[in-house]
Homo-oligomer: A and B are copies of this chain.
Amino acid sequence: MTTIHDVAALAGVSASSVSNVLNGRTEKLSAKTYSRVQAAIQSLNFSPNRVARQLKTGHTPMLGLLVPSTANPMYGQLALNIEAAAQSRFGYSLLLGNTHRDKQQEARMFDDMLSFGVRAVIVVSSLADEQHLNDAAARGMAVVSYDRAARYARDTSNRPVTAAPGAAPSTNSTGSVDHVSPDNFQAGYLASAHLIFHGHRHLAFLVPDGDTVSRSAKVAGFLARAEEGRKAGLPILSTVLKAPVVGAFGDSELLDLGAAMADQLVALSPTPSGIVTVNDMLAIGLMSGLQRLGLRVPGDISIVGMDGLPIAAFVNPGLSSIAMPLGEMADAMVERAIARATQPDLPPFNALFETRLIERQSVAPPRDTSSHELRDYPGDHI
């Protein structure tokens, strides 16, 4: 391995000068020394050892990312976007961990990253308990948490209450964990509104068992729109269906879980005509299960998913979904994580991103309803 000293020797200068060149401190070097060193670096194809540098400076251009599973395309995409932002905008590399939504794993991975000198990590945690995040933050890690910045407070039109940047969700009382999230309440609200708009009066929200900040927010939004409908005199039935989860969490399990839920769904009497699922993979699984049972989507049952995955456009029928601005959120998270790693005293950050409905072919008026609600509704304009 070639070191800074080899370069120094070749250029006939001291190691310090090489270091200065490496760090672009042009003002401390004469032009000729500078170029001589440059030449030496080139000819030796030298690239400084980041480990040594890190030991000295305490910094390393590495960003941690903890996701439940990259096998879920949602997180695969998130990883892609985050890596791209980290790399292109800050020159950071990505240290990835799959947590399987396991608290132990998550904690262990935090430790690992800490021991590698990683100072900034982005976490997609499903755990209701945020303590381990706070622990990590307390240990000097800049952590930004994805999908947990729920806000239940709404104004009278169900718009999110504009919170001061410092307004943290209730789970984050101690401090320095930042939050970036799609507006999950809005997502649930939009999905529900879409179904109601198309005439559905018997709605169900499908979600794997296990509490999560984002899931609760989605459910709350879903329920809120149904309640609004009722207040407007519509005979709306809204129920929440929890799918029993056994074993590990993963991409394939979500699909399987959705498929399995088809049976439970049709066993319901009366069967809901409009379903919203907590994510697209679950919706795709459900749709497949329903079809296997001889039901038609959207003929017999309408479905709207959430995530806005590309694949949702390619299943048959195309799945209507609530899309999240993945790229923007990834940018925000990366920026924030790195910013806080440098300036730990930044004020708490809480960003909620707008979601939007993508209409495709999985929603149609219900079979047994002749009168649709065609008037305008608030959900249109959120």
Contacts and interface: CB of A to CB of B under 8 A. Distances in A.
Interface of A: 1, 47-52, 54-55, 60, 62, 69-73, 75-77, 79-80, 83-84, 87, 93-98, 109, 111-117, 140, 250-252, 255, 259, 284-285, 287-288, 291, 310-311, 313-316
Contacts of A311: 73, 251, 255, 284, 311
Most buried by B among A47, A114, A116: A116
Given A70-B83, A73-B73, 9 more contacts: A47-B115, A76-B79, A83-B96, A251-B310, A255-B310, A255-B313, A288-B315, A288-B316, A316-B316
What are the nearest 7 A-B pairs in CB distance? A76-B76, A252-B310, A316-B316, A70-B76, A288-B314, A96-B96, A50-B115
A80 B69 contact: yes
A54 B60 CA distance: 14
A71 B60 CA distance: 26
A112 B83 contact: no
A252 B76 CA distance: 12
Contacts of A52: 55
Given A54-B51, A116-B51, A80 B71 contact: yes
Nearest to A289: B314
A94 B93 contact: no
A205 to B, nearest CB: 20
Given A73-B76, A83-B97, A115 B314 contact: no
A98 B77 contact: no
A77 B241 CA distance: 28
A73 B252 CA distance: 11
Contacts of A287: 314, 316
B83 A314 contact: no
Contact of A50 (B50, B97, B116, B284): B116
Contacts of A259: 314
Contact of A314 (B112, B117, B255): B255
A1 B139 CA distance: 9
13 contacts: A47-B111, A47-B114, A70-B70, A70-B76, A71-B73, A71-B76, A76-B76, A76-B79, A83-B96, A83-B97, A94-B96, A94-B97, A287-B314
Most buried by B among A52, A70, A79, A315: A70
Contacts of A60: 51, 116
Contact of A112 (B54, B93, B255): B93
Contacts of A114: 47
Contacts of A316: 287-288, 291, 315-316
Contacts of A94: 95-97
A173 to B, nearest CB: 22
Contacts of A116: 50-51, 60, 62, 93
A112 B96 CA distance: 15
Given A76-B70, A77-B71, A291-B316, A49 B117 contact: yes
Contacts of A62: 95, 116
